[in-house]
Amino acid sequence: MSQRVLILGGYGNFGKRIARALTKSNIPVIIAGRSRDKAEALQRTLPAGMAEVAAFDVNQASDTRLGDLWPDLVINTCGPFQLNDYNVARTCIERGIDYVDLADGRDYVAGFSTLDALAKSRNVLAVTGASTVPGLSSAVLDDWHGDFAAIETLKFGISPGQKSERGLATAQAILTYVGRPLKPFRSPKPMVYGWQDIYRQPYPGLGHRWMANCEVPDLDLLPARYNLKSIQFSAGMELRVVHFALWAMSWVVRAGIPIDFVRWAKPLLQLSDRLDGLGSGDGGMHIVVTGTGQDGRPLQRSWFIIAYNGDGPQIPTIPAIVLAKKILRRDLTIKGAVPCLGLVTLKEYLQELKPFQVQTFTV
């Protein structure tokens, strides 16, 4: 079986969606994770002969198992990347295997370039941040770039539906920075704290959602790419009780009370899940840009993507799916260790989302 893709965390929240998309496109996959039972359960739902199973702990046996399996591409969905090192990516690169991950950890993505020289020497492409941010956010800005002589400010964020499937890694990632000062970036404020500076954001068809500060790689990547004067990224929960519970926790952390909320991520997530009946499966993302148009006059543009009935978790998987297809077709000539910027166009992104209940709006 040729051109196999090894998906680490292959039966998880994002991994299973990537596996379904790739096998539907006749790309064989290897579903990897610690539980053989869970991997085999997913395998049974995929087209016959298109999926293998490999049961191992990626943090303990990646080098040995990569040597046994020898895939053409590895897609790593095993977060939270805020707590990960580069061992898996480095092992892939050393073995000459192309690599893609869905990292949203700001420091992780910023430091990924330390692998660039090694990747180039092995003629490998290693991509980090193949997710909504910066994959989709940069694709939208690239699509607009010809309309702006200069982009000056960017305010954007994501608000998932309460019933949308959430993974433990996502909850852990959020809790790593709740109430903590974020590293300096081009912010309108001199100091920014995680899950504070709350505001209400209107979404087409969804009404208003409360938002709060989050730390993402875009805070570093996008100002450098587009010469932004200021940037603000936020996230929000559909249910006010969940959103404001996190906001209250941020003040506990900011007050210096020694509680490691990351350790409590699993029970907190389970508690949130019990409230699903109060919410919906509808979520959205907003991108608001101001700057100067090509005619020299002030220009503002707002873009929204709305996902209905639990299809929101499809959106973060799209860059990895598009990149997998491009890498296996040898469409990408670039080599090295790079963030997911300029590698997926907005047209390609939206094409992959056509089977799902997703709409976009431009104002």
Q: What's the pLDDT at 284?
A: 98
Q: What percent of the chain has pLDDT over 70?
A: 99
How buried is 249 (Cβ within 10 angstroms: 0-12 exposed, 13-18 middle, 19+ buried)?
buried
Residue labelled with tokens 């020497």: 121
Cα separations in angstroms, 9 against 19, 23, 25, 93, 240: 10, 16, 20, 19, 31
CB 156 within 8 A of CB 286: yes
Inform me whether the pLDDT recorded for 63 exceeds 80. Answer: no
pLDDT tops 50 at residue 103: yes
Tell me the CATH number of domain 133-307, given options 3.40.50.300, 3.30.70.890, 1.10.1060.10, 3.30.360.10. Answer: 3.30.360.10
For the segment 334-340, the average pLDDT, to the nearest whole number, is 98
pLDDT at residue 1 above 50? Answer: no
Query: Are residues 196 and 247 in contact, defined by beta-carbon separation less than 8 angstroms?
Result: yes
> 66 pLDDT band (50/70/90 cuts)?
confident
pLDDT at 45 over 70: yes
* Segment 304-330, tens digit of pLDDT: 999 999 999 999 999 999 999 999 999
Cis peptide before 217 (omega within 30 of 0): no
Return the CATH superfamily for domain 5-132+313-355. Answer: NAD(P)-binding Rossmann-like Domain (3.40.50.720)
- Interval 230-282: pLDDT, tens: 999 999 999 999 999 999 999 999 999 999 999 999 999 999 999 999 999 99
pLDDT single digits (tens) 214-234 = 999 999 999 999 999 999 999
Distance CA 288, CA 305 (A): 12
- What pLDDT does 61 receive? 64
In the prediction, which pLDDT does 204 show? 97
Parse the chain into domains and list their residue ranges: 5-132+313-355, 133-307
Give the pLDDT confidence score for residue 13 in this predicted structure: 93
Rounded mean pLDDT of the chain?
95
The reported pLDDT for the residue numbered 58 is 84
Predicted local distance difference test score (pLDDT) of residue 60: 75
Distance CA 75, CA 78 (A): 9
Q: What is the pLDDT of residues 341-363, one digit of tens each?
A: 999 999 999 999 999 999 999 98
Q: What is the pLDDT of residues 108-147, one digit of tens each?
A: 999 999 999 999 999 999 999 999 999 999 999 999 989 9
Rounded to two decimals, the pTM is 0.94
∠ CA 271-237-270 to the nearest 5 degrees? 15
